[in-house]
Amino acid sequence: PPDVDALGRSTWTFLHALSAAYPPAATAAQQAEMRQFLALFARLYPCWPCAEDFRAWMGRGGNAPRVEGREGLGRWMCEAHNEVNRKLGKREFECARWEERWRTGGGM
């Protein structure tokens, strides 16, 4: 079975890179694609308890993906990641620094 930590690190890199590459203002079609991608991702992520908790979090009031544009999606992804950080007893990431970490900066 995959190593849950290695899988998680790689997947967060992918998910934050995906947010960083998202258009500042997404078209209706791009928003629909991203919504579908995230719903499928949350069903298929190959750590089943992780996926189940992630789906439950996404389904709770106020936690639906914000797909209007890069800024909202990046913040949402950071909040999703922080939810897992909290669950695992890790430090929360300061979401104001999301772009610096994943788009404009040289890594942190």
Least separation, in Å, of the C-beta of 27 and ligand FAD? 25
User: Per rule CB under 6 A, is residue 20 in the interface with ligand FAD?
Assistant: no
Specify the stretch interacting with ligand FAD by CB under 6 A; choose among 6-14, 17-25, 26-34, 57-65: 6-14
| Residues with Cβ within 8 Å of residue 26, at least 6 apart in sequence | 34, 67, 68, 69, 70
Q: What is the largest CA-CA distance in the chain?
A: 39
Residue 28 or 42: which CB sits closer to ligand FAD? Answer: 42
The Cβ-side half-sphere exposure at 38, using a 13 Å CA radius, reads 25
Neighbours of 102 (CB within 10 A): 22
Helical pair 4-20 and 70-87, crossing angle rounded to 10 deg? 160
Least separation, in Å, of the C-beta of 55 and ligand FAD? 9
Residues 50-79 that bind ligand FAD (CB under 6 A): 50, 53-54, 78
Residue 23 DSSP one-character state: -
User: Per rule CB under 6 A, is residue 81 in the interface with ligand FAD?
Assistant: yes
Give the residues lining the site for ligand FAD (CB under 6 A).
4-5, 8-9, 11-12, 16, 45, 49-50, 53-54, 78, 81-82, 84-85, 88, 90, 93, 98, 101, 108
